[in-house]
A and B are shown apart, each in its own frame.
Chain A
Amino acid sequence: MKLLVRLIHESKPIIAQVVKETGVLINVDRARSDAHEGEEALVDVPDESCILVSDRMRSLGAEVRILEEGIRHDEEECVDCGACISICPKRVFSFDNDWKLHVETKRCILCGRCIISCPHAALSLSY
């Protein structure tokens, strides 16, 4: 399960602390530090530890949002061109045998690169 964790500026090493306390292995898919919006990390945790990890992070002062799904694919708008395929760092997109776009949302790290690259506005983030 993916969690979007927003940390307050100058905060403690919350992710490290939660890993240490809970023993849950947390995979940081991507992290971003922005002067205005603070620090944000997209992390991947095992489904069964999702509540445990998010509760503990919240109690340490982080904002946590549980992301149910990866990139959202609008099949009505999509024309199966494939512009998204080569720019995705995680090989989320591929063609099936009939040249129809296949989307493996589980691999998505929500980097958002494909959203602007889709000529038909068929890709969006759900959060």
Chain B
Amino acid sequence: MEKSIDEINRRIRDGSARVVTADEMPDIVSELGEEGALHEVDVVTTGTFGAMCSSGAFLNFGHAEPPIKMERLWLNDVEAYGGIAAVDTYIGATNKSVTRMESYGGAHVIEDFISGKAIELRAQSSGSDCYPRRSITTEVRLEDLNQAIMVNPRNAYQRYDAAVNTSEDTLYTYMGTLLPHSGNVTFSGAGTLNPICNDPNLRLIGSGVPILLGGAQGMVIGEGTQHSSAGNFATLMTTADMNDMNTDFLRAAYMYRYGPTLYLGVGIPLPVLDIETVRRTAVRDEDIMVSIKDYGVPSRSRPVLGQVSYAELKSGTIELDNEEIKTSSLSSFRRAKMVANTLKRWIEDGQMTLCLPTRYLDPSKQAKPMRETRKVVLVQEIMQRKVVTIKEDQEITEAAKKLLRGETNHLPVLNEQGRLTGVVTTFDIAKAVARPERKIKVQDVMTRNVITTLADEPIDIAAQKMEHHRISALPVVDAQNQCIAILHASDLGKLFKPGGGRP
């Protein structure tokens, strides 16, 4: 048996369509069998609610008098794109405010617009004969705009790898707070309710298909950026009118030390046309697997520490290397369910009918990494090879002399075997002098937990280490932990001088 989309829409219009949410489907199929479920169910609604950083909106403010072509503009001091004509702009969710706390960004501007708040618009122009005005400052509300159309380049990831951190430091990432020594695991995604997980071959989800976006009725534009359906990481480009959105399904957020992002509800109703649809929408959390990636390694190719299902992730703990680790979701399953339920109600009430894609998405596409034509600058290119060191058992007066002579603030400390065991700074010496009780040897005052770098480490990673730990130098060690050089924060300046590593 097969059903046509017209037949399903006819049932929606006369109020007789049977609509279920995707998490109900597995049990229905178990109970009725595939043929029975196909006969019984007309539409399966899906939903997800989580951080979707690659989101934003096109806005049109209408013309000012005298008119201005806005070349640079700010909304509540968050810069929006000024490279499109006159009074159009695109505000991106992750842009940070230049004056407010860094926890306010484009996502907050979007939420404030939707909540009906007034937003300060500030714009500059170089002026022209047709647009003579050079600057403008005004307050606008959503109702004052001609258009406020959300267009999100990358939404509704099919699934997302879970995150863990094996390093010794707490990391603050777009995957939330990651505790050291694999102290927790974070993940994102609605699993069984996720739209694309219920249509992995993209037979039903494609251009023109109706969706719920931020509480509004919108549609899929086409494939999202970084769409990588071959690896089960399909994404969607989506759109809807901001005027129809509400804060139940759209919330600005701030990931500590990462920046602003937008939490969005996205849901897609799937017409149950055939057995294949029934089979796919019967997917359970147990069937959807993701990798656990180690964010302790600051590289594009983060090590994969294991595979885990959404069922395990949602259970609250997973097992990794025979240890139980607590899990945290960053997306909200409760709100994902609200998305699916809202879609269900719309369809039951005849407020939304379905259609098949006007263009299909490529189900076999693979995303590529960036082509890089200039080599990455490594620590060895700017580190100082002449490094003054001191032995653990030397006296601090000796360390003080070396610090003065070496005109440095950091002395790497070596043990008998010449391996790095600590660092002594001028601050450590000053502390020792201020409290002269019994601390006389270098090993009594040195900092033992030394943050180091490697000669072949990219300079940006070394710089991030210094910033993260608020320190100004890193001993450079080899594989045997011998100190071969030192990198000072001031060495980074070489990169910007003529003949340095960067133009």
Contacts and interface: CB of A to CB of B under 8 A. Distances in A.
Given A80-B335, A85-B326, A119-B255, 5 more contacts: A79-B332, A82-B328, A83-B330, A86-B185, A87-B177
Given A98-B334, A119-B253, A83 B263 contact: no
A91 to B, nearest CB: 9
B135 interface: no
Nearest to B337: A99
A73 to B, nearest CB: 15
Q: Which of A85, A98, A100 has the most CB of B within 10 A?
A: A85
B330 A84 contact: no
Contacts of A86: 179, 184-186, 325-328
> Which 5 pairs show the lowest CB-CB distances between chains A and B?
A86-B328, A86-B184, A119-B253, A86-B326, A99-B334
A82 B256 contact: no
Contacts of A85: 316, 326-329
Interface residues of B, number: 32
Contacts of B334: 79-80, 98-100
Contacts of B337: 99
Contact of A81 (B103, B185, B331): B331
B74 interface: no
A117 interface: yes
Interface in B325-358: 325-335, 337
B9 interface: no
A121 B185 contact: no
B238 interface: no
Max chain A C-beta neighbours (<10 A), residue from B327, B333, B337: B333
Contact of A117 (B51, B177, B316): B177
B254 interface: yes
The interface residues of chain A, by DSSP majority, are classed as loop
A78 to B, nearest CB: 9
A94 B329 CA distance: 11
Interface of A: 79-87, 94-95, 98-100, 113, 116-117, 119-121
A46 B159 CA distance: 48
Interface in B203-260: 251, 253-256
A86 to B, nearest CB: 4
A121 B335 CA distance: 17
Contacts of B256: 116-117
A100 B329 CA distance: 12
A95 B327 CA distance: 12
A119 B176 contact: yes
A99 B177 contact: no
B56 to A, nearest CB: 18
B261 A119 contact: yes
Nearest to A115: B256
Nearest to A88: B326
